[in-house]
Chain A
Amino acid sequence: MDQFTINLLFVGASFALYIGIAIWARAGSTSEFYAAGRGIHPVTNGMATAADWMSAASFISMAGLIAFTGYDNSTYLMGWTGGYVLLALLLAPYLRKFGKYTVSEFIGDRFYSPTARLVAVISLLVASLTYVIGQMTGVGVAFGRFLEVSNTAGLLIGACVVFAYAVFGGMKGVTYTQVAQYVVLIMAYTIPAVFISLQLTGNPIPGLGLFGEHQASGEPLLAKLDQIVAELGFNEYTAHHGDTFNMVLFTLSLMIGTAGLPHVIMRFFTVPKVADARWSAGWALVFIALLYLTAPAVGAMARLNITEQFWPNGTSGEAVSVEQIETDPAYDWMATWQQTGLLGWEDKNGDGRIQYYNDASPAMQERAAANGWQGNELTNFNRDILVLANPEIANLPGWVIGLVAAGGLAAALSTAAGLLLAISSAVSHDLIKGQLNPSISEKGELLSARIAMAVAIAVATYLGLNPPGFAAQTVALAFGLAAASIFPALMMGIFTKVNNKGAVAGMLTGLIVTVIYIFLHKGWFFIPDTNSFTDADPLLGTIKSTSFGAVGAVINFAVAFTVSKMTGPIPKEIEELVESVRVPRGAGAAQDH
Chain B
Amino acid sequence: MADHTSQPAQAGQKSDAGYWSANVRIILVSLVIWAICSFGFGILLRPMLAGIEIGGTDLGFWFAQQGSILVFLALIFFYAWRMNKLDKEYGVEEE
Contact = CB atoms under 8 A, between A and B. Distances in A.
B24 to A, nearest CB: 8
A587 B95 CA distance: 9
Contacts of B49: none
- Name A's interface SS: helix
A219 interface: yes
A393 B34 CA distance: 37
Contacts of A247: 43
A582 B16 contact: yes
A564 B43 CA distance: 35
Interface in B34-86: 34, 38-39, 42-44, 46, 54-58, 61-62, 64-66, 68-70, 72-73, 75-77, 79-80, 83-84
B65 A77 contact: yes
A212 B55 contact: yes
Contacts of A97: 2
A584 B69 contact: no
B46 A240 contact: yes
Contacts of B6: 586
Nearest to B93: A584
B30 A224 contact: no
A586 B94 CA distance: 6
A222 B56 CA distance: 5
Interface in A205-239: 207, 210-212, 219-224, 226, 238
A454 B6 CA distance: 45
A576 B9 CA distance: 9
A244 B79 contact: no
Contacts of A244: 43-44
A100 B54 CA distance: 48
Contacts of B1: 98-100, 109, 591, 593
Interface in A551-593: 576-577, 579-588, 591, 593
Interface string B1-23: 11111110100100010011001
A240 B91 CA distance: 50
A226 B4 CA distance: 59
A275 interface: yes
Contacts of A89: 27, 30-31, 75-76, 79
A220 B27 CA distance: 39
A584 B2 contact: no
A585 B92 contact: yes
A74 interface: yes
Contact of A585 (B20, B42, B94): B94
A143 B7 CA distance: 56
Interface residues of A, number: 62
B80 A275 contact: yes
A576 B3 CA distance: 11
Nearest to A88: B76
A281 B76 contact: yes
Interface stretch (A78-86, A114-122, A332-340, A395-403): A78-86
A90 B3 CA distance: 21
A222 B55 contact: yes
A518 interface: no
Given A278-B80, A289-B72, A585-B94, 8 more contacts: A88-B79, A221-B56, A247-B43, A248-B44, A275-B93, A279-B80, A585-B12, A586-B3
Among all A-B residue pairs, the 5 with the closest Cβ atoms: A220-B56, A211-B55, A99-B2, A223-B56, A74-B64
Interface of B: 1-7, 9, 12, 16, 19-20, 23, 27, 30-31, 34, 38-39, 42-44, 46, 54-58, 61-62, 64-66, 68-70, 72-73, 75-77, 79-80, 83-84, 87, 91-94
30 contacts: A77-B68, A78-B38, A81-B69, A82-B68, A89-B75, A90-B27, A99-B2, A109-B1, A211-B62, A220-B55, A220-B56, A226-B57, A238-B56, A240-B46, A274-B94, A275-B93, A278-B80, A282-B80, A285-B72, A293-B70, A576-B4, A579-B16, A583-B92, A584-B87, A585-B91, A585-B92, A585-B93, A586-B7, A588-B3, A591-B1
